[in-house]
Amino acid sequence: MTQSQNPSLPQARVIVKHPYLSMMCLYFGGFTGMYSETALNIALPQLSLAFGVELNMVQWLVVAYMLVIGLVLPFASLLMKWFTARQITLFALCSFLIGALISGFAGSFEICLIGRCIQGIGTGLVLPLMFAMVLEVIPPHKIGQAMGVAALVIMFAPAIGPTLAGFLIGTLSWRWIFFSFCITLAIAILFAIKFEVNPYELTKPRIDAISVITSCFGFGGIVLGAGMVSLFGFTSAPVLGSFTVGIVCLAAYIKRQLNIKVPVLDLHVFTYQGYRVGVMCLMLNFGITLAAMYVLPQFYQNAMLIAVAAAGVLMLPGGLINAAVSVAAGTLFDRFGARGPASIGFACSALASAMLMIATPETPIWYMVACHIIMMIGVPLAMSPCQTHALASIPPQLNSDGSTIMNTLQQVLGAICTAVATCLLAAGQNTYFAAGGTDSALAFTEGSHIGFAFTLIMAVLGFFLAFRINLQKEQSAQKEESVADASVLSSLMQTEVFSVNENANALEALRLFTEKEISGAPVLDNNGNLCGFVSDGDIIGTLAHQDTTFTSFYSYTIDSNEQGFEEKASALIGMKVGTIATKNVLTVNLQDDMRTVCATLAQHHLKKAPVMDKGKMIGIVSRTDITRYTVGLYAKTN
């Protein structure tokens, strides 16, 4: 689980001893959030009976959850600049845990709904943070694999949701669906406390009130309108009114983000062609998943008249296949890129959708399970590669914005696709009854066929769009730019690097700073690998923590005769550098373009950063080096 130290491979942007353990809290949290989205679908009839309310009213447990996610998601990127990743994660996980307990113990529909809304806060914060963190703490050659695990979370959870929920309802009660959330959330909280790191600089930008308001009404209006379609119909006044408010406010929000100095979300990510295509493919793929997972369990119950628990079991094989393919898809991306796996994935989804369109109540069970398995091969094959391709196409400083936008669009599209599937189901049933039909199972079959036709259309669109991912050309262009920038970086960086061993004491570090007239140095372990960075500020900060009177070398000189200070200073001087140094070192790679290097120094307020090549530190680049190079370049030009 430790990060690879293979010297021939590049390191992560932020060096973490156990990168996958640091991600585990977000993986568990994301799994719970996505599992929660589909688990309740199968429990709605039982909840209707338990609370004594109409089925269309109980659907608000799903609508409200997605509404809160849609409200919270757009602010995740901004919150990452105000609070540490661990603070955000713990708040999100604890919110979800509290909400799950409220819903699980609820004695009325209203209380259950309140708990459901609180759960939405947790999911809205965890999902974008999960994908943004992968790009920071995972080495570049393993990002596809890590994204595969993230895709496993996103795709396997909703696929397995009906199975687990059906089992819990059949053996215990609907309350245990909410209690099952608590188990995975408790595990996630333990991982967050023990292993999570914070890779982002807290810049605390100004919060634009107008952006906040237009975001809430824009994204919230669209999600709310889509959620109310099943209750009132597409042409009803509440739905049309909500959509109108949402679209108008969203347009105002987009215009403001493009024109203010510090946007809540930097929409310039869409200027990158790889990100645009990747996101469009991802949205289509996510729409296929939610629409199919909405229609298929109901087809088992309402058309084939299979009990809820048995319907959940029939969804299990596809869920297991989904898990295996999700991880494999990430590895395929690392080896072959996104275009091949994505096009094959959409082709599988199209084939499965076409097969489901001819299913009837008499269709053999094995045929239905086979259709589900084919779709669960296709969906993750497209999911992870498209997601990784999109995020890898943007500069590092836009990662949090790119991840937040991606997850926000997923939730908005998820609400819309569910609404469309609901309307298509109803339209097919109404057409059957209008033609004189009387069999409710056959009526639902007609509606399901139209619903599966919807997934087929999205799969075909995704298949052709996948061929817009011209990865080889992009990689070639990136390689040429990388080679040119590597030459610039190698010419301006300082190759004579003064470092200290992690077992050296603070006095040795201070002597090095004084002799070489530097303010900090990389810290190496016994194998020569970079494991930290220590500065005079780290050492004096430790002294200041021990005695707040002494916050600089000057105060030390003035007050060195004070009784008791010599003992404190002596203890500090004898401390090992490894215990004082900053562990999560922000580095740049020799292959990084100069824009990325400058962004790393500026965004994180760094004076200098180690330069890595094939896993080894080969130099240090500072703001002074870049400034000197820029001035020289200007002088040559003029």
> What pLDDT score was predicted for residue 263?
74
Please check whether residue 154 is in contact with residue 126, taking contact to mean a CB–CB distance below 8 angstroms: no
Neighbours of 545 (CB within 10 A): 10
> What pLDDT score was predicted for residue 141?
57
Q: How confident is the model at residue 475 (pLDDT cuts 50, 70, 90)?
A: very low
Convert the pLDDT of each residue in 389-441 to its tens digit: 887 777 766 776 777 777 777 767 766 777 777 778 777 888 888 888 778 88
Residue 558, pLDDT above cutoff 50? no
pLDDT, average across residues 139-148: 61
> What pLDDT score was predicted for residue 102?
92
The SS3 call for residue 501 is strand
> What pLDDT score was predicted for residue 547?
43
Please check whether residue 537 is in contact with residue 509, taking contact to mean a CB–CB distance below 8 angstroms: no
The DSSP H or E segment spanning 530 is: strand 530-535
Q: How confident is the model at residue 483 (pLDDT cuts 50, 70, 90)?
A: very low
> What pLDDT score was predicted for residue 212?
78
Where along the chain do its domains lie? 19-207+264-469, 208-263, 486-637
Residue 37, pLDDT above cutoff 60? yes
> What pLDDT score was predicted for residue 272?
79
Residue 495 token pair: 């190759």
> What pLDDT score was predicted for residue 484?
47
Q: How confident is the model at residue 6 (pLDDT cuts 50, 70, 90)?
A: very low
Convert the pLDDT of each residue in 147-166 to its tens digit: 666 666 666 666 677 777 77
pLDDT, average across residues 572-582: 74
Q: How confident is the model at residue 506 (pLDDT cuts 50, 70, 90)?
A: confident
Intra-chain end-to-end CA distance of the chain, in Å: 53
- Hunting for tokens 């959509």 — which residue is that? 243
> What pLDDT score was predicted for residue 151?
65
> What pLDDT score was predicted for residue 557?
41
Rounded Cα distance between 620 and 396, Å, is 19
Residue 313, pLDDT above cutoff 70? yes
> What pLDDT score was predicted for residue 346?
92
Residue 329, pLDDT above cutoff 80? no
Task: Spell out the CATH class of 19-207+264-469.
Answer: mainly alpha
52 contacts: CB under 8 Å, gap ≥ 6:
none
Provide, for the chain, the percentages of residues in helix, strand and coil under a 3-state DSSP scheme, each rounded to the nearest 5: 75, 5, 20
> Helical H runs in 73-142?
76-80, 85-104, 109-137
* Percent of the chain whose pLDDT exceeds 90: 4
Which of 134-143, 190-199, 338-347, 597-606 bottoms out in mean pLDDT, i.e. has the lowest?
134-143
Which of 318-322, 555-559, 619-623 bottoms out in mean pLDDT, i.e. has the lowest?
555-559
> What pLDDT score was predicted for residue 635?
57
Residue 120, pLDDT above cutoff 70? yes
Rounded Cα distance between 452 and 421, Å, is 9
CA angle (530 as vertex; 12, 150 as ends), nearest 5? 20
Rounded Cα distance between 157 and 137, Å, is 24
The SS3 call for residue 418 is helix
Between 397 and 313, residue with greater pLDDT: 313
- DSSP for 538-605, written as a single string: HHHHHHHHH-TT--SHHHHHHTTTSTTHHHHHHHHHTSBHHHHSBSS-B-EETTS-HHHHHHHHHHTT
For CA atoms 188, 192, 194, 199, the dihedral sign is positive
* Percent of the chain whose pLDDT exceeds 70: 76
> What pLDDT score was predicted for residue 148?
63
- Measured in whole angstroms, the distance separating CA 414 from the mean position of its chain's CA atoms is 16
In 3D, which of 486, 491, 495 has the Cα closest to residue 594?
486
> What pLDDT score was predicted for residue 39?
77
- DSSP for 293-339, written as a single string: HHHHHHIIIIIS---HHHHHHHTHHHHHHHHHHHHHHHHHHHHH-SH
Q: How confident is the model at residue 26 (pLDDT cuts 50, 70, 90)?
A: confident
* Residue 261 burial (C-beta neighbours within 10 Å; 0-12, 13-18, 19+): exposed
Rounded Cα distance between 582 and 502, Å, is 11
> What pLDDT score was predicted for residue 564?
54
> What pLDDT score was predicted for residue 556?
40
> What pLDDT score was predicted for residue 460?
92
> What pLDDT score was predicted for residue 348?
92
Measured CA to CA in angstroms, residue 141 lies from 19, 136, 145, 251, 619 at distances of 13, 13, 8, 38, 22
- Tell me what the pLDDT averaged over the chain comes to: 75
> What pLDDT score was predicted for residue 615?
65
Q: How confident is the model at residue 370 (pLDDT cuts 50, 70, 90)?
A: very high
Residue 366, pLDDT above cutoff 60? yes
3-state SS record for 447-476: HHHHHHHHHHHHHHHHHHHHCCCCHHHHHH
Convert the pLDDT of each residue in 251-310 to its tens digit: 888 888 777 776 777 777 787 778 888 888 888 888 888 788 778 877 887 788 877 667
Q: How confident is the model at residue 604 (pLDDT cuts 50, 70, 90)?
A: low
Rounded Cα distance between 577 and 565, Å, is 20
In 3D, which of 478, 493, 491 has the Cα closest to residue 588?
493
Q: How confident is the model at residue 142 (pLDDT cuts 50, 70, 90)?
A: low
The SS3 call for residue 225 is helix
Between 134 and 118, residue with greater pLDDT: 118
Please check whether residue 415 is in contact with residue 222, taking contact to mean a CB–CB distance below 8 angstroms: yes
> What pLDDT score was predicted for residue 315?
76
Please check whether residue 99 is in contact with residue 119, taking contact to mean a CB–CB distance below 8 angstroms: yes
> What pLDDT score was predicted for residue 571?
66
Which CATH number is associated with domain 486-637?
3.10.580.10
Rounded to a whole number of angstroms, the CA Rg of the chain reads 27
In b/e form, how buried is each residue of 549-588, taking b as 16+ CB within 10 angstroms?
A: ebeeeeebeeeeeeeebeeebeebeebbbbebbeebbbbb
Between 358 and 412, residue with greater pLDDT: 358
Q: Largest Cα–Cα distance of the chain, in whole Å?
A: 101
Q: State the pairing for strand pair 530-535/520-524.
A: antiparallel
Residue 237, pLDDT above cutoff 80? yes
Please check whether residue 599 is in contact with residue 399, taking contact to mean a CB–CB distance below 8 angstroms: no
Rounded Cα distance between 555 and 204, Å, is 30
Q: How confident is the model at residue 614 (pLDDT cuts 50, 70, 90)?
A: low
